[in-house]
Structure 1
Amino acid sequence: MAAAAEMAEQGAAAKGGGRKKLILLGAPLLLAGIGAGLWFGGILPPLLGMGPPPASGAPAAEAPRRPAFFEMPEIVTNLNATGRRPVFVKLRSKLEIGRAEDAAAVQAAMPRLLDLFQTHLREMRPEELRGSAGTQRLREELRARAQIAVAPPAGSTQPAPQVLDVLFLEILVQ
């Protein structure tokens, strides 16, 4: 009978050990499930300071500004061609500027813009304008020159107008 009593105590101890294992494995899983629910429910990130800042009485942020387009005058100039026959280029383009308010600054810089565009075009050879790669290089060069032309003078407190791109309406090499 003593043997039967010892077996009963070991069985009871084994059952208690199973409960301990269940609690030790179940508690972390339960906590992870609750944490995931709070995270994906959107409750936990603001509590951890990871959400957007709380709304205050300040006015709402401005809507994102849309770029504006400024029409450039038509440019007709000769290219740097070898041989006796002159080669001309006719260019119609638009400047994409960051804000519509910058159109006045671009208009004021128009003489400098035209000068920089024409001098660059006069130095180009007709071969350099062939293909999409040539057109892309011309676009990048003209955009860089336009940005230089519309920049305010040194020491000015006005923000510089931003030239985002040069869009070609017509390029004719003849």
Structure 2
Amino acid sequence: MAAVDTEVADEEDEAAEEPARRRLAGKVLVLYVALPLLVLIGAGVGLYMSGILGGSTEEEPEVEVVADPVFYDLPDFLVNLSGPPPAHYLKMRVSLQVVDAEAVKRLEIEMPRVLDGFQTFLRDLRPEDLEGSQGMLSLKEELMRRMTLATQQPLVTDILFREIIVQ
């Protein structure tokens, strides 16, 4: 019986050691295999997403540098408007947004022609032509058209009203 007891005791010891080995084997598997594998996969995904490893072959789009706007102030306009008495006057200060700094030189050369076109147009206006936002928009469009006719090339991109007084 003693032999049977020793065999049973040996089997119990082996049975007690096996679960301990399995727990240790699971921890070892996680610590030495699964965890480093997850770290490597994470690093690979990070490198891929950042574009260092693989990633897209597209180059980043070039950013166009927009030049600062160039403005040119015209002299003040003071004209009498057409229409029945009493006489009405228009005082106007205008700035022109010019294509570039070189266009300012060209604009200064053409300035007598520009001022003449503006003056003749402004004298034909009536006070009711300048009423409301539609009147201002029409005025701006017509001045822009006359500017292009006077300079014979598009030097000005916009006309900006600094002051308009109808009296």
TM-score where L is the length of structure 1: 0.59
Q: Which has the higher helix share?
A: 2
Task: Give the Cα separation in 1 of the matches to 2:132 and 2:63.
Answer: 44
Percent of pairs with identical residues = 39
Task: Give the Cα separation in 2 of the matches to 1:86 and 1:74.
Answer: 19
Indicate conservation of the 8 Å contact 1:97/1:161, yes or no.
no
Task: Give the Cα separation in 1 of the matches to 2:154 and 2:102.
Answer: 9
Task: Give the Cα separation in 1 of the matches to 2:106 and 2:143.
Answer: 17
Q: 2:77 aligns with which of 75, 78, 83?
A: 75
- Count matched residues: 115
Task: Give the Cα separation in 2 of the matches to 1:147 and 1:68.
Answer: 17
Indicate conservation of the 8 Å contact 1:78/1:86, yes or no.
yes
Indicate conservation of the 8 Å contact 1:102/1:161, yes or no.
no
Task: Give the Cα separation in 1 of the matches to 2:106 and 2:64.
Answer: 23
Task: Give the Cα separation in 2 of the matches to 1:119 and 1:62.
Answer: 40
Task: Give the Cα separation in 1 of the matches to 2:128 and 2:154.
Answer: 33
Task: Give the Cα separation in 1 of the matches to 2:163 and 2:76.
Answer: 9
Indicate conservation of the 8 Å contact 1:79/1:86, yes or no.
yes
Letter in 2 for 1:122: R
1:87 CA displacement: 0.8
Deviation string for 1:23-48 (max 9, x for gaps)? xxxxxxxxxxxxxx9xxx423xx5xx
The 4+ residue runs of structure 1 with deviation greater than 2 A are 60-67
Mapping of residues 1-174 of structure 1, within 5 Å: 41-43=55-57, 63-82=65-84, 84-151=85-152, 160-174=153-167
Indicate conservation of the 8 Å contact 1:66/1:98, yes or no.
no
RMSD between superposed Cα atoms in Å: 2.6
Task: Give the Cα separation in 2 of the matches to 1:91 and 1:120.
Answer: 13
Letter in 2 for 1:95: L
1:161 CA displacement: 4.8
Unaligned runs of 5+ in 2: 1-48, 50-54
Deviation string for 1:29-84 (max 9, x for gaps)? xxxxxxxx9xxx423xx5xxxx789xxxxxx99844333100000011111112x2
Residue aligning to 2:44: none
Indicate conservation of the 8 Å contact 2:107/2:155, yes or no.
no
1:123 CA displacement: 1.1
TM-score where L is the length of structure 2: 0.61
